[in-house]
Amino acid sequence: MSVAKDIGIDLGTASILVYVKGKGVVLQEPSVVAIDKNTGKLLKVGSEAQNMLGRTPGNIVAMRPLREGVISDYDMTERMLREFLRKVAPVHFFKPRLVICVPSGITEVEERAVIDAGIQAGARKVYLIEEPVAAAIGAGIDIAKPDGHMIVDIGGGTTDVAVISLSGVVESDSIKVAGDQFNDAVVKYIRRKHNVLIGERTAEELKMKIGCVFPRDEEQIVEIKGRDLMTGLPRTFEVSSSEMIEAFEEPTQRILEAIHSVLERTPPELVADISTNGIVMTGGGSLVWGFDKLIESHTGIETRVANDAISCVAYGTGKSLDDLASMQDGTMNLSRRKQMNG
């Protein structure tokens, strides 16, 4: 009989990554579920469900049970987690211990919901770790030293900005502006400027192909299709990369403000460390072209995107499995506890 392995989960708004101790990241799927509205039956999870988004007949609903980094549909999150756990860890006599990653701005109620969902999905114990801490570990930073590091983790639903020293978060800000809001900004911009309606998936494609937040050396142009709002008919038109800078202006500005406000509240010794160590970006949103250059030009601090930025949080969550003995049950970084109770 095999013993259940400890498992780390990056429970993201856009995607879920599962790390199994000794094996690494074994699963990366979109956080989407498809259910039959009439029977309540779960039909598909992950990429199979994502392909149904915006394309389902009336009785099938494809939905994302997590919004802005937190659980918006508890029942569906629990069922989705259970499905993913079943994929990576077939039924064992022993239940696994889970470390689940959550945004740093999460409330106690939301925290409780994540722990409960993990237990209901079949875990023996659930520990939580803050996203920026996991991201820093995953990016290869030794967080145990008394040395300040700044992490900017741009996910699907939240952007977490944190200063980490001595394994804890010293100052942080978690804002509900990230990949999803970038997609929304593209949809709104195309509607306003071209009078054409495009879907979320087209917006995501645009973001990945020519999206940028800093002027590119060469203008890039792609052709996309959407529905003309005047005629109601399909229309093909061109979008350029400099239009994307314009489209992204508002969400980008909010992320820059969050970075600024965290730096303003950080003790001077740590700010000095950060200016030496630089700022590290993780998460899928950090891959939007020129984000590192933009932050660097605004702060004057060298900024780099971590290797394998999308999986950083999952790897960090996975590496934290080695320290389960020192983690308290169901809690994460205690820096925030002090703030909440103090």
What distance in Å separates the CA atoms of residue 284 and residue 245, rounded to the nearest whole number?
18
pLDDT given for residue 327 in this prediction? 59
Concatenate the DSSP letters of all residues of 229-281 into one string: TTT-SEEEEEEEHHHHHHHTHHHHHHHHHHHHHHHHHS-HHHHHHHHHH-EEE
What distance in Å separates the CA atoms of residue 234 and residue 238, rounded to the nearest whole number?
14
Element (H, E) at 282: strand 279-282
What distance in Å separates the CA atoms of residue 279 and residue 69, rounded to the nearest whole number?
22
What distance in Å separates the CA atoms of residue 192 and residue 226, rounded to the nearest whole number?
13
pLDDT given for residue 213 in this prediction? 95
What distance in Å separates the CA atoms of residue 331 and residue 133, rounded to the nearest whole number?
13
Tokens standing for residue 268: 């001077």
Helix axes 249-265, 291-299, angle to 10 degrees: 50
The residue to which tokens 């010794």 are assigned: 269
Q: What are phi and psi of 203, to 5 degrees?
A: -60, -45
Pairing of the two strands 125-130 and 97-102: parallel
Query: Mean pLDDT for each consecutive 10-residue tract of the chain (342 residues)?
Result: 72 87 88 86 86 74 81 85 82 78 84 88 88 92 91 91 90 91 95 94 91 93 94 95 96 96 95 96 93 96 94 89 65 39 31
**pTM for this predicted structure:** 0.85
Identify whether the C-beta of residue 157 lies closer than 8 Å to the C-beta of residue 175: no
Q: How far is CA 208 from CA 4, 83, 100, 286, in A?
A: 38, 29, 27, 11
